Structures are given as C-alpha cells and as structure tokens.
Structure 1
Amino acid sequence: MNYITPIFFGFISAFIGIIPPGLINMTAAKVNHKEGKRNALWFVFGAILVIFFQVFFAILFAKIINSRPDIVTLLREIGFGIFTALTIYFLGIAKAPTGKTKKLKKRSKTKRFFLGMLLSALNFFPIPYYVFVCISLASYKLFLFDLTSIFIFVIGSVMGSFLVFYVYISFFNRIESKRDYIMKNMNTIIGSITGLVSIITLINIINYYW
C-alpha cells in the first residue's frame, strides 16, 4: 500500500488552499500577537478539528460523485464556468481589500478553541475545494477512494493546515509588515490561481470529448 501519495497530496492541497491570507489564518496570527502563542494554538486546534471532518466528508462526496462519470464531466464544465467567472471578477472587477482587521479582546483558551471551530465551520470553501481536488486526483489515478487512503489524505490535509497556521503564528510580525502589500495584491493572486485552474479544467474537458 502506497501511503506517501495520499499524505503528500493531502498536505499540498491543504497548504495551497490555506496559505493565502484569510479570516482564519489572520485571526490566528492576531490572537498570537494580542494574547500569546498558547491561545493562538488553541484557536488553531479548534479550526483544525472542524477541517478534519470537512475534508473527510468532502472525500465521501467525491467518492459518490466519482462513480458517476457523467456527473464528473458536468461538474468539470460547471467548475470551468465558475473559475472563469472568478478569474474575470478578481482580475478585472473586484476592488483591492483594505486589509483592516478588528482588534481582539483577551479571551480564555477554551473560548479561543471554540472560536476556531466557529470560524472554520463558517468557512464552506474546504468542502467543494477538496471534492474537486480528490476527483481530479482520482481521474489521474493518483488517489484511491479506499478507507486507508482517505484517512491518510485527511491526516495529510490536517498536517498541511497546521503548518500554514503555525507559520502565520510564528512569523506574524513579518507577515504584518507586508500584510498591506499582500492584501492589495490578493485579487491578482487569487485571480491567477483561478485562471490556472480554469485552463487545467478546460484541457480536461477537451481531452474527454476528444
């Protein structure tokens, strides 16, 4: 049994999905800055607990969808339309975010744990993201929907998520000094990523029909 492939792709998928500055990772950094690393880590543990179940259920959805080639093709076409629209929006329409963040009041580590769970639960992006990732990997025979591979992939995604959060916590001062620049260019970054995904999806659609 190959354990390296699912944990590698789980790790890389999580890393790519979480590395852009967002509500959860920036909040983790802010908690660390205002309240210390211990509270920040409790916040991260809460977020990761929810991510664990989000990834697991996303893979189960992907397994069901993957058994229907017609649905997979339809989702690719829908995904191409969505990612193309997002690319146009972020590169040509959206205004640059201001990068302003709210001040955090000092809270207990238990409250930070549940805050991490809450913010992570409110973030619905991981489910469709991991569904798309797993279906794409399965189409290239890089992922199997057996229980062992699923569990290892989830562990890899948790490890990747934790690493990104820990980087934000540990290097907050450096991130903060460059945060305004990053936030001003975030639309370009996201638009470039969605544009690349659109091209890859279009290639897959063309290969399927040809």
Structure 2
Amino acid sequence: MFLSAFNREKTVMPTPETALAGRPAPIPTAQRHFVNGRPLSPPFPAGLKEVQFGMGCFWGAERLLWQTPGVYVTVAGYAGGLTPNPTYEETCTGLTGHAEVVRVIYDPAEVSLENLLMLFFEAHDPTQGMRQGNDIGTTYRSAIYLENADELELARSVRDRFQQALEANGRNDRITTEIAEAGAFYPAEDYHQQYLAKNPAGYCGLKGTGVSCPVG
C-alpha cells in the first residue's frame, strides 16, 4: 500500500527530543463505565489483575473486551509513549509515541491471562507493524503491556504459538506486536470511552486473520 510522506512520518516513533511536551495534569474524562457503571479509575477491587492491549483503533477493541466474561471494567486510553497526559489530537500526530490501548481489569478466577492473550491475537492482525488496516501510524500498532516478568514470558509464549499457527495456515508475515512491561497509562477523553455503546453504528476497524491461536 502506498504511503504518503505524512503517513510515513506517522509510522516512525518519536525520540525524547522530538516528542510533544504534553501537560502535567490529566485531561478530563469519564468517571464511570457507560455500560456497566463501574469506576474507570483505581482503586479496583482486591484480587483483580490488569493488562493493556493495543489492537489498532480502541473503539472496537474495547467493545470486544468489555463483552468478555471475567472482565470487570475496560478503559480506552494511551500507553507506551513519551508525552505525559496526551490528547487524542496529539497522539494522532505520531509525536507522542503512544499506542491506542484498552486497559483491561479482569478477574483471574473467571478468565485467565492466557485466554485474554489468545483472544488478543485472534481478534486483530498482529503482523502489520505501525498500522491496523487503513488506520496508519504508531498509535495503531499492536501492543501488549503487562505487570511483571512472568506475564511477559507468557505473552511471548502465546505470540510464538500464534506465529506457528499463522505459518501453518500459509501466512509467513512475522508478528510485530510490542510486548513490554506497563508504564504510565493515560485515559482517553470522555467521548472515546465505550464509544460503540454510545454510537452503535460507529466505526470499528477490528479484523482478525481468521487463524485460531492454539491452546498451550
């Protein structure tokens, strides 16, 4: 696919010197989940765990995840970048380094991290680099941000299983998913939260490869 000069620039991660400055205070956002009414910010109930998934545009990804049994609450936001407290408009420039992600707070007694990782890989195309379909730029990259070394190891194991499954189905593209320990998470603006519940006919770019992730 031909990329304009502007889109090519958006696919290059910024450096600390070129990243936007951001702001010291959080941007305004919703306080409660539009669908289930639960608080969007910590503290969350004891025993719950967190993972952050970047699957392209966060609208469709968030809907998939809040509908998953065992997920307590979801929050659309920005992670993995340099700019503190970015706005949506800033992330779209590619100069914040952030990916659009969904913060997933889940009950491990009801859904395992492994099952969430399998859902993640099946629900989008993790081989596209700095894009997802027609959504182009660093903000749309495939990414997983986790809490500790054991979870990082598990994510890499599931990635490798899915890579083998892709190749067994004639897909030789390499998975480009960023897998890293979670840093700062910045909730997106109010109108992005649970967007497709508020706008059922809204845009959803979420599209998988049609390949299933093998069970470990």
Q: If the length of structure 2 is used for normalisation, what is the TM-score? A: 0.22
Higher relative contact order (CA 8 A, sep 6+): 1
Q: Point out the structure with max Rg over C-alpha.
A: 1
Q: If the length of structure 1 is used for normalisation, what is the TM-score? A: 0.23
